[in-house]
């Protein structure tokens, strides 16, 4: 087995402030080169924070990060300022949720892409612009020559996201982080962007971490899935395993709450309640208050990590109980 | 961009016309006849009537306005009642003088204001921010004639480094760009620069704070830019607004500060305006206000154009 592209080991993220927020509480995940891991969870589950940790984009002065983060053999948390800047964009790059906000409004798209290239490669501005043009062709933007000189506000949402993808690919990264890249887009554009991302990821052999709250989107692009809740991964497995045989009650709830496969006239099932406030680190199962299958043991401590198979993990007391011989 | 430019210039015309009408009327609304103050109290009625005729004060107001405007467009702003010299020459000389210290004041104010603004915006909430903000508030709220006098006391009277007032040994008529003359500009310009410094620094601080909170900043870091690379983007985003504020401040300063120019006996527009008011010198007053207002309108157009050049989003409006 070759070394994984990403190896996060028991990562914790806390935001200090008037109130401490325990955003990520012991995340362990691995990603093989060239594979896609979908991270699924609702707002505030810590999925975006997990992603940003991989680029160390969180405000350093207010953030404590624990555990270890290895990407392509580098200890990301130990990188110095220069090494970190060289790593960002070159090894790992990111596609942001809303391209309108993530692109600088006063520079042309071409300039912004070229800037990412010249930052990491010693080539002239003209060559960089040429490469930027090729990238725009790669992400299949209509009339790319014109878009090169366009400002973000002159493009449609779908085109902006394509430009954002081109920007992320500018320095040929090994790992692509996608933070809900289709959430801000129309449904018809969403699927185009998903297919494009999936194809580019395969063609370029990149690893990809894809964060989304939409289970349908996650299934579309991912090889494997990780379900996050309250800053922890509660279940991982291949897409097939998770869809056909979900173990954690939260995963089951997410699947039941989804429109896909719902029959007409049938009530959609919602998960009752809301995710917990993360003012302190969880000491027992965070999902128990909303869980229909909760038992007393759920309150006794953090749920055990149950390994069901290679890369198939569930954090639930009941799964453990079911495995034990009666 | 060309249509944007043309639009800006066309929009300027009605404003300019309105402004000229307004400053014509403003002077005529004021009570009292402009001639009474220059004439000896025992002047005969016949003499008064004759003079009125010469200056055209006997005609109906709209005709007076039309004639005045027609001449003004050709560069003739009439004759000063107090001195008998053409107004245009007086105004231009004063504008030139004010422009020198106002320009220097704007440059000082802009450079310092941007510096403090960037420092404060980058280190929000820190000691540096509070210090810079304190300076800015101080700059806008300190009375300027007082500050001017304090500067004179310190730098002219006590230290003897800089002259306390005037426009140099040869005066403004015989201006040379040598130290003897330029040294006279420094104190008035520094005094004048305090307001724009404060305003620009507050504006830039708010701009920088807002820009740094936008999502494209982490996105820039995500592609590997370091502090300086990000700074370039912040500057380009802040520039349109900062320059617009600077342009407007230059416009205000062009009106000259009567108080500052009086404290330093600087022969600029403020000085001229003050004299014109006290002597009820109507043509001079009108001419000065008109020229200043036109400068202000022109500056506004210039600001619009520069903003359009720097910010692509403005051009489409």
CATH number at residue B199: 1.10.3720.10
With respect to residue B28, please indicate whether it lies within any of the assigned structural domains: no
**Would you say residue B113 lies in a domain?**
yes
Q: What is the pLDDT of residue B34?
A: 63
What phi, psi does B13 have (nearest 5°)? -60, -55
**B51 is a domain residue:** no
**Residue A91 has what pLDDT?**
93
- Domain assignment present for B287: yes
For residue A9, give the DSSP letter. Answer: E
> Residue for token digits 């014509």?
B24
Q: How many residues does chain B have?
A: 317
Q: Which of B124, B216, B316 to mutate to test the interface with A (most CBs of A within 10 A)?
A: B216
CA distance A32 to A205: 11
The CA distance from A147 to A144, in Å, is: 5
- Those of residues 225-264 in B touching chain A at CB distance below 8 A are 225-226, 229, 233, 236-237, 240
CB contact at 8 A, A211 and A219: no
Does residue B234 belong to any structural domain of this protein?
A: yes
Domain count along chain B: 1
B146 in any annotated domain: yes
Residue identified by tokens 């029959």 is: A263
Q: How sure is the predictor about A201, in pLDDT bands with cuts at 50, 70 and 90?
A: very high
- Residue A173's φ and ψ, nearest 5 degrees, are -70, 160
Q: What digits encode the pLDDT tens for the residues B37-68?
A: 667 777 777 877 887 777 777 778 888 888 88
ipTM of the complex: 0.85
| B15 located within any domain | no
Q: What is the domain extent for residue B152? A: 87-315
Q: What is the pLDDT of residues A53-82, one digit of tens each?
A: 999 999 888 899 999 999 998 899 999 999
Put simply, whether the predicted model's pTM sits higher than 0.90 gets the answer: no
The answer to whether the Cβ–Cβ distance between A171 and B222 falls below 8 Å is no
Among chain B residues, CA nearest to A153: B313
Contact with chain B for residue A121, Cβ under 8 A: no
Residue B65 lies in a domain: no
Looking at residues A240-267, what average pLDDT do you find? Answer: 79
What percent of the residues of chain A are helix, what percent strand, and what percent coil, each to the nearest 5?
40, 25, 40
- Nearest CA-CA distance, residue A293 and chain B, Å: 40
Please answer whether residues B58 and B51 qualify as being in contact, where contact means their C-beta atoms are separated by less than 8 angstroms. no
Query: How high is the pLDDT of residue B33?
Result: 63
- Are B224 and A171 inside 8 Å of each other by CB? yes
């Amino acid at each position: 087995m070759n070394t994984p592209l990403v190896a996060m080991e028991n990562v914790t993220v806390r935001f200090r402030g008037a109130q401490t927020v325990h955003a990520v509480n012991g995340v362990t995940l691995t990603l093989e080169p060239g594979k896609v891991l979908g991270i699924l969870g609702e707002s505030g589950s810590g999925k975006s924070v997990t992603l940003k940790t991989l680029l160390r984009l969180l405000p350093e002065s207010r953030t404590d990060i624990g555990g270890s983060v290895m990407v392509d053999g580098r200890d990301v948390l130990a990188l110095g300022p220069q090494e970190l800047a060289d790593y960002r964009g070159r090894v790992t790059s990111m596609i942001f949720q809303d391209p309108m906000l993530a692109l600088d409004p006063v520079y042309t798209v071409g300039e912004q892409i070229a800037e990412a290239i010249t930052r990491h490669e010693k080539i002239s501005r003209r060559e960089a612009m040429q490469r930027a043009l090729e990238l725009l062709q790669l992400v299949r933007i209509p009339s790319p020559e014109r878009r090169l000189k366009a400002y973000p506000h002159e493009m449609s949402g779908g085109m902006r996201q394509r430009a954002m993808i081109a920007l992320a690919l500018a320095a040929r990264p090994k790992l692509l982080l996608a933070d809900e890249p289709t959430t801000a887009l129309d449904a018809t554009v969403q699927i185009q962007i998903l297919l494009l991302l999936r194809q580019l990821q395969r063609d370029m052999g990149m690893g990809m971490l894809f964060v989304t709250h939409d289970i349908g989107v996650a299934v579309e692009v991912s090889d494997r899935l990780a379900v996050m809740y309250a800053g922890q991964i509660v279940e991982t497995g291949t897409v097939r395993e998770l869809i056909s045989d979900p173990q954690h009650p939260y995963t089951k709830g997410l699947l039941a709450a989804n429109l896909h496969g719902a029959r007409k006239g049938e009530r959609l099932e919602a998960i009752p309640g809301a995710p917990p406030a993360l003012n302190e680190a969880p000491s027992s199962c965070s999902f128990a208050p909303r869980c229909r299958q909760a038992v007393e043991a759920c309150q006794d401590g953090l749920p055990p990590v149950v390994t069901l198979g290679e890369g198939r993990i569930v954090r639930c007391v009941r799964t453990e109980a079911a495995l034990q011989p009666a | 961009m060309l249509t944007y430019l043309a639009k800006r210039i066309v929009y300027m015309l009605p404003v300019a016309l309105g402004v000229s009408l307004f400053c014509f009327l403003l002077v005529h609304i004021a009570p009292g006849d402009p001639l009474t103050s220059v004439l000896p109290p025992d002047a005969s009625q016949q003499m008064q009537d004759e003079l009125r005729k010469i200056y055209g004060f006997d005609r109906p107001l709209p005709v007076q306005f039309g004639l005045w405007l027609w001449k003004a467009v050709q560069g003739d702003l009439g004759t000063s009642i107090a001195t008998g010299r053409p107004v245009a020459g007086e105004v231009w000389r004063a504008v030139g003088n004010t422009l020198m210290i106002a320009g220097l004041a704007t440059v000082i104010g802009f450079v310092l204001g941007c510096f403090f603004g960037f420092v404060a915006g980058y280190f929000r909430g820190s000691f540096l921010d509070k210090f810079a903000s304190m300076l800015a508030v101080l700059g806008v709220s300190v009375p300027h004639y007082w500050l001017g006098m304090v500067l004179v006391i310190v730098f002219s009277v006590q230290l003897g480094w800089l002259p306390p007032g005037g426009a140099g040994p040869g005066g403004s008529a015989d201006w040379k760009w040598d130290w003897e003359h330029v040294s006279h500009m420094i104190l008035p310009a520094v005094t004048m620069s305090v307001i724009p410094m404060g305003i620009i620094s507050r504006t830039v601080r708010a701009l920088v704070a807002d820009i740094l909170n936008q999502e494209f900043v982490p996105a820039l870091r995500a592609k590997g830019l370091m502090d300086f690379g990000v700074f370039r983007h912040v500057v380009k985003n802040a520039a349109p607004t900062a320059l617009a504020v600077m342009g407007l401040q230059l416009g205000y300063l062009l009106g000259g500060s009567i108080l500052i120019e009086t404290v330093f006996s600087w022969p600029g527009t403020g000085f001229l305006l003050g004299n014109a008011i006290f002597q009820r010198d109507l043509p001079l007053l009108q001419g000065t206000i008109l020229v200043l207002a036109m400068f202000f309108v022109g500056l506004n157009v210039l600001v619009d154009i520069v903003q359009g050049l720097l910010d692509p989003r403005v051009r489409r409006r």
